[in-house]
Amino acid sequence: AGGDVASMSGSPDQARNAVNGMLDALIPAILQLRSMDAPVIAGVKGAAAGAGLSLALMADLVVAEENARFLIAYNGIGTVPDCGGTWFLPHKIGSARATEMMMLGRTLSAIEAKQLGLVTEVSSEAKFEEVLAATVHRVANGPTRAFGAFRRLVDDAHGSPLKVHLEAERQAFLTATETADFAEGVSAFLAKRPAFFSGR
């Protein structure tokens, strides 16, 4: 799942307050998870959309049920990803594929996500908990401190520090809340209808 879009409806100030409230809680958690020594493993059932996708991307390893779906979803409400989505996604699948997901609203199946490198393991619904537990067990019995150091080294190799990028995402998201496209996107999402964006 993703963020609570209904909380972003109303005036731009109400949307900004809702977004800031959510990000004030999530950004420190993301930074803490990315800096700790232990590996982070995500299990995905159903849709990983919006912030849910960003949080799955934040994990070192992802185990997904075969019916899981991965989508940016922010394009549907006229804004940019947050929670590190614009940092993690291009680093995992490249900027061209990340752009395709954002601009074309492409949804990936679990198999497609695995082929692109977003998912480590795809499991049937019946075996999901078993596969997830086996993955956790295998990683937990490895050199977890070395795994944490490896993650930090890889993150540092990307150039832009995650902390700086998370704040840049926040500002871009907040700027988008002031647009007519954002108001239309949220309204359309809540009404379960297609959005009609005007570029304003």
Residue 154 or residue 41, greater confidence: 41
> What are the tokens at 175?
């700027």
Q: What is the pLDDT of the chain when averaged over all its residues?
A: 90
Structural Rg of the chain based on CA atoms: 17
Residue 13 lies in a domain: yes
Q: Give the tens place of pLDDT for each residue, 78-105.
A: 888 899 999 999 999 999 999 999 999 9
pLDDT of residue 195: 85
In what helix (H) or strand (E) does residue 24 lie, and over which residues does it extend? helix 12-35
Residue 194 lies in a domain: no
Residue 192 lies in a domain: no
- Beta bridge partners of residue 20, listed in sequence order: none
Average pLDDT over residues 19-24: 91
> What are the tokens at 19?
């977004």
Residue 191 lies in a domain: no
Quick check: 10 pLDDT over 70? yes
Q: Give the tens place of pLDDT for each residue, 147-200.
A: 988 888 888 877 778 888 888 888 888 888 888 888 888 888 899 999 888 878
In what helix (H) or strand (E) does residue 178 lie, and over which residues does it extend? none
* Number of domain units in the chain: 1
pLDDT of residue 76: 86
- Where are the alpha helices (H) located in 36-157, listed in sequence order? 51-58, 85-93, 95-104, 110-116, 128-140, 144-157
Structural domain span for residue 175:
5-134+142-184
Q: What is the CATH number of the domain that holds 83?
A: 3.90.226.10
Q: Cα angle vertex 94, ends 173, 64, to 5°?
A: 85
Name residue, tokens 């832009």.
160
